[in-house]
Amino acid sequence: MPGKRVLCCYGIDIDAVSGWLNTRDGSPANPTDVSRGIFGATVGIDRLLKLWDKYNIKATWFAPAHSVESFPSQIKKIIDKGHEIGLHGYTHELVSTLSEEQQRDVLAKSIKVLTEVTGKKPRGWTAPAWSTSNETVKLLEEFGICQLLKRPNSAQEYDHSFMHHDSQPYFLPAPHLTPLAPTNTARAASTWMTPMAPLQSSSVVEVPANWHLDDWPPFQLSLTQASTHGYVDTASVERLWKDQFTYLYRECPEDGSFVFPISVHPQVSGKPQVVLLHERFIEWINDHVGVEWCTMEKVVDEFKAGRIGGVSVEGGVDV
């Protein structure tokens, strides 16, 4: 009788310098912030690679193409260790601020850069800052990695940006197929009082994102990002992560499964106190029966093959 399966993943965003280039407003980068990105691309990556080696973990590294081109020797270390490399924009530009043409250009350039460095087309994508657009899913399908790789039954192929669920993979609903009436108080209320249209699934698999399993908001001090803190006690975050896992593990049937994707950044999780948090958390997780550490592409393979469960995301009505 098979027991429950828990697929735990680390998604590492190698934002490095690209995350400090102020891609929202184009203002000059602060050199001190740039130095923090360099720390992440060098010291941070090295510390995390050592951590994953210690626990025999293969992870998914989402790399802006700017980071790949700027720190090629560091990216080579990741590839040589057998980790997965996924797409994360070019200069960590917020997708929600780009035109459709700009989004398409960034995808094309990023795919080209990562393919040349890794020797294979990337299968996954995560939006910088998880800031997506109505065109996101349409463009992921348009740039389908399945067509580039000629892989049967695959899309471009998965995303890690949306939050329809927190612990189950699913086929991602396409925003461009689900019209929403914006609340425009300059117009009559009757023009916006209408329900959401039915969700329509795409061919893109979602490995769900979760702000409460992300190291950036609690641990990264930024004077220009109101959502960051920087001085949260690691014990508080450790308890938050453990509580999420404890609930999901308790509620998972003995023949069921769930996924537990954690999102981290080398310039954050490469700090000594956060490395120690990860060591404690990994060892605690490993005390649970059925736990497997894997890449996100492994989650997608298991989901598509029917070896782990998932959910169907539903919502909206015909009007």
pLDDT at 155: 39
Nearest 5°: phi and psi at 196?
Answer: -70, 140
Q: Burial level of 150, CB count in 10 A (0-12/13-18/19+)?
A: exposed
Domains of the chain: 5-305 (3.20.20.370)
pLDDT at 154: 41
Tokens coding 247: 């609930």
Q: Residue 264: enclosing H or E segment and its boundaries?
A: strand 257-264
pLDDT at 146: 41
Of 125-129, 130-134, 153-157, 313-317, the poorest mean pLDDT is in 153-157
Over residues 209-228, the mean pLDDT reads 90
More confident residue, 139 or 223: 139
In Å, how far from its chain's centre is CA 285?
20
Over residues 186-200, the mean pLDDT reads 93
pLDDT at 183: 93
**What DSSP letter does each residue of 13-44 carry, written as one string?**
E--TTGGGS-TTT-PPPPHHHHHHHHHIIIII
Residue carrying the six token digits 């601020």: 97
**What DSSP letter does each residue of 120-170 carry, written as one string?**
S---EE--GGG---TTHHHHHHHT-HHHHHT-TT--S-EE----S-SS--E
Q: Is the dihedral of CA 226, 228, 231, 232 positive or negative?
A: positive
pLDDT at 156: 57
Contacts for 230 with CB less than 8 Å, ≥ 6 apart: 218, 219, 220, 221, 222
Residue carrying the six token digits 């934002």: 15
pLDDT (tens digit, 9 = 90+) per residue, 60-102?
999 999 999 999 999 999 999 999 999 999 999 999 999 999 9
How far is the C-alpha of 266 from the C-alpha of 75, rounded, in Å?
12
Of 2-16, 149-163, 189-203, the poorest mean pLDDT is in 149-163
pLDDT band at residue 226 using 50, 70 and 90 as cut-offs: confident
pLDDT at 147: 43
CB 178 within 8 A of CB 136: no
pLDDT at 309 over 50: yes
